[in-house]
């Protein structure tokens, strides 16, 4: 009975991890994969992961690649075993800073590019029109876009604080 209760408790926590991984753009099945690896005492092969989750080796490979790109899983080596082994990154602070930085940087850079293009296009339109109402509207919108640029510049500084780990000077990691 104790083993059953243990397994139920761990499975319940893994389900919670999987459910909330969508905050990071991760599907529940990949979240479950991370949970299984996190609670595994030993690194696992793709076959072992597939058996534990009752999923195909291809799905496991895709999931491991996704988690690896996010620095949440790493490949490892064990003498005498020829198959690739994987283990979870157990430093959740490191995983979060990497994941947050990568995701936010990508989206923020896209927004910066779009704002830059919009400013160029609006200035061109403003310079080519004689319509004073349109010129006034464009001027207000250019101010809005300049505000957005200032925000994105600040956000990039914030992302850098996260990525470099400087954030932990302001908000220290909790000791377990």
- Report the Cα 119 to chain-centroid distance in Å: 30
Q: Is residue 39 part of a domain?
A: yes
- Domain end point (choices 52, 69, 89): 89
CB contact at 8 A, 52 and 43: no
Q: Is residue 175 part of a domain?
A: no
Q: Is residue 21 part of a domain?
A: yes
Residue 167 clears pLDDT 90, i.e. is over it: yes
**Do 7 and 66 share a structural domain?**
yes
Residues 38-56 pLDDT 10s: 999 999 999 999 999 999 9
Residues 14-39 pLDDT 10s: 999 898 888 777 899 999 999 999 99
Residues 118-157 pLDDT 10s: 999 999 999 999 999 999 999 999 999 999 999 999 999 9
Q: Which domain holds residue 144?
A: 93-170
Q: What is the pTM of this model?
A: 0.73
- Report the number of distinct structural domains present in the chain: 2
Q: Is residue 74 part of a domain?
A: yes
């Amino acid at each position: 009975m104790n083993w059953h209760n243990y397994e139920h408790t761990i499975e319940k926590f893994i389900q919670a991890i999987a459910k909330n991984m969508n905050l990071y753009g991760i599907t529940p099945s990949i979240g479950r994969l991370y949970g299984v690896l996190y609670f595994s005492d030993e690194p696992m092969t793709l076959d072992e992961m597939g058996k534990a989750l009752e999923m195909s080796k291809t799905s496991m490979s895709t999931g491991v690649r996704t988690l690896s790109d996010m620095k949440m899983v790493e490949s490892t080596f064990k003498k005498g075993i020829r198959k690739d082994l994987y283990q979870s990154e157990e430093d959740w602070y490191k995983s979060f800073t990497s994941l947050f930085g990568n995701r936010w940087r990508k989206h923020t850079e896209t927004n910066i590019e779009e704002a830059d293009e919009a400013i160029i296009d609006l200035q061109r339109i403003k310079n080519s029109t004689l319509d004073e109402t349109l010129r006034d509207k464009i001027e207000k919108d250019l101010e809005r876009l300049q505000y957005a640029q200032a925000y994105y510049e600040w956000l990039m500084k914030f992302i850098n604080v996260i990525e470099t780990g400087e954030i932990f000077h302001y908000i220290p990691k909790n000791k377990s």
